[in-house]
A and B are shown apart, each in its own frame.
Chain A
């Protein structure tokens, strides 16, 4: 158990629907990152939140949105789903101390299948 909790583990939904993926970061971590991983593809950065504020956006579609709540958990909302949105969605968290960088801790992912 990495300490980063993602729910649900699997999700099957129809095209045009909306889903919410949830992430609880590791205790003490203030940053949450969302990544999309399609079949046999790399990790595509979607968005980064730090202590409730959006810090950086990657290749995130306008149909997708995210937020981080006061208790630091984060939700990724995917709407008007298309077949191509089928992928693994990972959440990662990290701890910042000054200017030093630290690695991410990833959750086990949510596998989204759009049918």
Chain B
């Protein structure tokens, strides 16, 4: 099955700096890569996703890049704010499978 690895496990940045979280996947058939944000005491929330037919997608301060050859994808958060502090999960799945394989999570702390 698919194996998704996520790094780093914890990340601290100063407010206003950028944060980057990286994930690798093992199954070359995977073609859908969502990112989730989990705030304390809440369920994970989808914040951005990318499909394998594009290399980059942006939504305001967040962006995701995908390198299919290297089988890795990354989440970029620019101009970080304290409310960005949360646990972020990457995930991968392949067409028709609909089962998401999650990374182990990154705890991001934005220091005011």
Interface residues of A (CB under 8 A from B): 2, 4, 31, 33, 42-43, 45, 48, 50, 55-56, 90, 92, 94, 96, 99-101, 103-109
- Flag if B102 contacts A42 (CB, 8 Å): yes
Interface residues of B (CB under 8 A from A): 31-32, 34, 36, 42-46, 49, 51, 89, 93-105
- Flag if A45 contacts B99 (CB, 8 Å): yes
> Smallest CB–CB gap between A21 and chain B, Å?
13
Q: Which of A33, A42, A48, A104 contacts B103 (CB 8 A)?
A: A42
Q: CB-CB < 8 A to A108: which residues of B?
A: 42-43
Some 7 contacts from A to B, beta carbons below 8 A apart, are A42-B102, A55-B98, A99-B95, A101-B94, A101-B95, A101-B98, A106-B45
Q: CB-CB < 8 A to B49: which residues of A?
A: 103
Question: Which residue of B36, B95, B99 has the most chain A CB atoms within 10 A of its CB atom?
Answer: B99
Q: Which of A2, A45, A96 contacts B43 (CB 8 A)?
A: A2
Q: CB-CB < 8 A to B103: which residues of A?
A: 42
- Flag if A43 contacts B89 (CB, 8 Å): yes
Q: With the chains together, A107 CA to B38 CA distance in Å?
A: 11
- Flag if A101 contacts B93 (CB, 8 Å): yes
- Enumerate the 3 nearest inter-chain pairs by beta-carbon distance, A residue then B residue, closest first: A106-B43, A101-B32, A103-B46
Q: Which of B44, B98, B101, B102 contacts A96 (CB 8 A)?
A: B98
Q: CB-CB < 8 A to B105: which residues of A?
A: 42-43
> Smallest CB–CB gap between B2 and chain A, Å?
11
Given A45-B99, A48-B98, A106-B43; 20 other pairs, CB 8 A cutoff: A2-B45, A31-B98, A33-B99, A33-B100, A42-B102, A43-B89, A45-B101, A45-B102, A48-B99, A90-B43, A92-B43, A94-B98, A96-B98, A99-B95, A101-B98, A103-B46, A103-B49, A106-B36, A106-B44, A109-B43
Q: With the chains together, A90 CA to B45 CA distance in Å?
A: 12
